[in-house]
Amino acid sequence: MSILAKKKKRQGAEIPTSSMADIAFLLLIFFLVTTTIDVDTGIGMTLPPEPDETTPPPPVSDRNMLKILINAQGQVLLEDLPSSVAQIRSEVLTHVQNNGVDARYSDSPSKAVVSIKTDRLTPYNLYIQTLDEVWMAYFEIWDTEARSLGHANYVEYRSNLADGAENEIREKWPAQVSLAEPDPGN
Amino acid sequence: MSHFTKKSKAKPEISTASLPDIIFMLLIFFMVTTVLREQEVQVRTILPQAEALTKIEQKRYVSYVWMGPEKLPGNRVGETKVQIDDAVIEDLTNVRSIMYRKLNEQPRLIVSLRVDEESEMGVVTDVQGELRKAGTLRISYSSRRDISNI
């Protein structure tokens, strides 16, 4: 009798699963806390490839080049004229959208180049502000173009673009930002 | 008979048997998305603010380069240093070989430059020169959105 009762009890023995949810919850909370879903944002650039000694850089005529120079003291020189960071955006806009009207600015949007030259001692913060203004000018142009094509803005146009499809706005208004080698400084 | 129906109505319970499964599913999701290998950044990087930002959605293409004043004990900062992964790079020519190796592993590599806003352009230019030599041409100047504009 006693043997039978013992056997029966063993067969019915089970691992309690009621605490399973609690253990899983604990692990879940740990991973929830440690997970960082931060998307890195930044100003994207493509560096020019390492210069080849046999092939000289492509010639850019002076009128197609908008020169921005920032010195170590944080002073901005726009096309050899003393200026400020706040003026860069409008200057880039007139330069790119000139289409050969004004002789001082570019021939066509596809030929327009914006060149940024810094000193070795230029504050990085100012460089980013300058780069930001230049890109904001291009974003403005792209937004206007996207609206004329019947989109809300450029970001919406780009997200609706099919995979592998050509970005016609970028094709029409290519952003050509060149980073010149800085002066050695003192 | 009517007695029985009354009893079953009195205790309507939601079955909790599938609760562990649901929680496990969530758990697995967070385990998969968690990046545990968080590098110890040894330099101070207060990112500059900008507006013309683009998001880098493909996190696995990104490799970080930190530049900024070295953190010293007692809230002090030292000289400007460059850090890649876990190591502070003393000789900048090493950047080239490190990046060249990374580019071989991931051809669509994007180098995110996390530069302290008080740095000077010299060190950034030097690193960029090495990146050009290594052939890692896609870069991103990591910046944060200007909060006062929102």
Residue A49, in any domain of the structure: no
The sign of the dihedral angle between the CA atoms of A156, A162, A164, A166 is: negative
**Bridge partner list, A115:** A67, A178
Interchain CB distance below 8 Å, A21 and B20: yes
Gap between the Cα atoms of B67 and B116, Å rounded = 6
What confidence tier does A154 reach under pLDDT thresholds 50, 70, 90?
confident
Residue A163, in any domain of the structure: yes
Residue A79, in any domain of the structure: yes
- Cβ-Cβ contacts under 8 Å between A and B: the total is 148
Residue A142, in any domain of the structure: yes
Q: How many angstroms separate the CA of residue A100 from the nearest CA in chain B?
A: 27
CB contact, 8 Å: A143 with chain B?
no
pLDDT confidence of residue B8: 54
Residue A10, in any domain of the structure: no
What pLDDT digit, counting tens, does each position of B23-60 carry?
888 888 887 877 666 667 888 888 888 888 888 877 77
Residue A171, in any domain of the structure: yes
CB contact, 8 Å: A39 with chain B?
yes
Give the phi and the psi of residue A177 in degrees, each rounded to 5. Answer: -110, 125
Residue A8, in any domain of the structure: no
Gap between the Cα atoms of A136 and A129, Å rounded = 10
Q: What's the ipTM?
A: 0.74
CB contact, 8 Å: B21 with chain A?
no
- Note the pTM of the prediction, 2 decimals: 0.76
User: What's the number of domains chain A is made of?
Assistant: 1
Strand duo B54-55 + A41-46: pairing: antiparallel
Residue of B141, B135, B4 whose CA lies nearest to A135? B141
What pLDDT digit, counting tens, does each position of A79-99 carry?
888 888 888 888 888 888 888
Amino acid at A95: H
Residue A169, in any domain of the structure: yes
Q: Taking each helix axis as running N to C, give the angle between helix B93-105 and helix B121-134, from 0 to 180 degrees, rounded to the nearest 10.
A: 50
State the residue range of the domain holding A96. Answer: 62-179
What confidence tier does A167 reach under pLDDT thresholds 50, 70, 90?
confident
CATH number of this structure's domain B49-149: 3.30.420.270
Interchain CB distance below 8 Å, A35 and B19: no
Name the residue ranges covered by the structural domains of chain B: 2-33, 49-149
- Count how many Cα atoms sit within 13 Å of the Cα of residue A62 in the half-sphere of its side chain: 4
Q: How many angstroms separate the CA of residue A139 from the nearest CA in chain B?
A: 8
Give Cα separations from A61 to A125, A134, A180, A181, B90 (angstroms).
30, 20, 16, 19, 40
